[in-house]
Structure 1
Amino acid sequence: MTKQRAADYPCVLPGDPTWIHDAQYLQDILNSLAAAAAIAHDHADPERYVLPHLPYQVAADTLGQIRSDMPPARPGALFLIDLPTFQLEALRQALDVLRRAQDADADQVLDLVRDYATHCLLPPRSIDDVVTDTQRILAVLSLDIPAVRTVATTLLLDGEHDTGFRSARDELLDAWRAAGIDP
């Protein structure tokens, strides 16, 4: 665990890494968007994919980093990571663009994501699936309820897992279940 810095966002993550491991395809889509945006920029069409390549690349790299840092599955366990704010913001920006594509407000993004999701994935996925899965990941990473702060503080300080901690943990697990994550 690294020392908490003001520019980091403490994230408490569920012990079952399925929520992020199953997101490999999202990382691939974001990498594809980053590559397409870089090429569009090089051809004097920087807004073709809405964002410059860097936010897409940061979002893809963030998913890859979290996926590789997750320990083996331990259902019911909680893990704490520091996520730099710029990484969380890149994921939010990418989600905003995916939502625009979902609403047919970003045609080039929609075409790329739809082609990838339907032709490169088994089972094929729709733009709605891509948006929903991205939202789910962002919900875990950006969950900001008092229970997160209680759990994070206890884990950071190696505090006692007293009644307050257990109550906060249960509230956190319930919030994840409500978001469709099996903790």
Structure 2
Amino acid sequence: MTKQRADYPCVLPGDPTWIRDARYVQDILASLAAAAAVAHDYGDPEKYVLPHLPFQVAADTIGQIRSDMPPARHDAMYLMVLPAFQLEALWQALGVLRRARDADGDATEVLELIRDYAMRCFLPPRRVDDVVTDMERILAVLSLDISAVQTVSITLLLKGERDDDFRSARDDLFAAWRAAGIGP
């Protein structure tokens, strides 16, 4: 039996646009949570693929990260520990968003809600692909699983020396974020 991780260390870029610009994703997830709760109350719990709770946890997680991000510093990075259930809810929500984008018949209601909401309620209007791409970007930052995350996390947590190993790991993180379309 493998041990489940209770939390995940996340190293976040100092430029908060990756999460602040995702406010609309948070709003869509909150809308999906509300719609799924209503569908459940009316006897159709699978209408939005997931129950309301994973959508709400995902929306709340994005909101929490957005509000906790300090002012922008393009050369900075921040350590955050994310409980496993929050990361799992984000992955579950992304799975549903992808199914909707790919026209999965079970996710038709999700697709219609996202399409209507994203195209009519935001300036500029968003497409379903935009929602999926921005959710993937959020998870690319939060789920980055390279050795640099561990090196930087330990150094930041223990307020250790910023030696060559740290600087190399930091450079690897900046490169990974740039590859994901985040940062300078």
Structure 2, gaps ≥5 residues long: none
TM-score normalised to the size of structure 2?
Answer: 0.96
- Percent identical among aligned pairs is 75
Query: Take 2:78 and 2:34, find their aligned partners in 1: how far apart are those partners?
Result: 32
State the match for 1:104 in structure 2. 103
Alignment of 1:54-93 (within 5 A): 54-93=53-92
Query: Take 1:177 and 1:74, find their aligned partners in 2: how far apart are those partners?
Result: 15
Read off the aligned partner of 2:48 and give its amino acid letter. Answer: Y
Query: Take 1:116 and 1:174, find their aligned partners in 2: how far apart are those partners?
Result: 34
Query: Take 1:40 and 1:143, find their aligned partners in 2: how far apart are those partners?
Result: 34
Structure 1's consecutive aligned runs of 4 or more residues displaced over 3 angstroms after TM superposition are none
Read off the aligned partner of 2:39 and give its amino acid letter. Answer: A
RMSD: 0.7
Q: Deviations over 1:15-71 (max 9, x none)?
A: 011110001000000000000000000000000000000000000000000000000
State the match for 1:145 in structure 2. 146
Shift of 1:143: 0.2
State the match for 2:47 in structure 1. 48
Read off the aligned partner of 1:100 and give its amino acid letter. Answer: R
Query: Take 2:150 and 2:75, find their aligned partners in 1: how far apart are those partners?
Result: 18
Read off the aligned partner of 1:41 and give its amino acid letter. Answer: H
State the match for 2:25 in structure 1. 26
TM-score normalised to the size of structure 1?
Answer: 0.96
Structure 1, gaps ≥5 residues long: 1-5
1:38 match: secondary structure? helix
State the match for 1:13 in structure 2. 12
Read off the aligned partner of 2:83 and give its amino acid letter. Answer: P
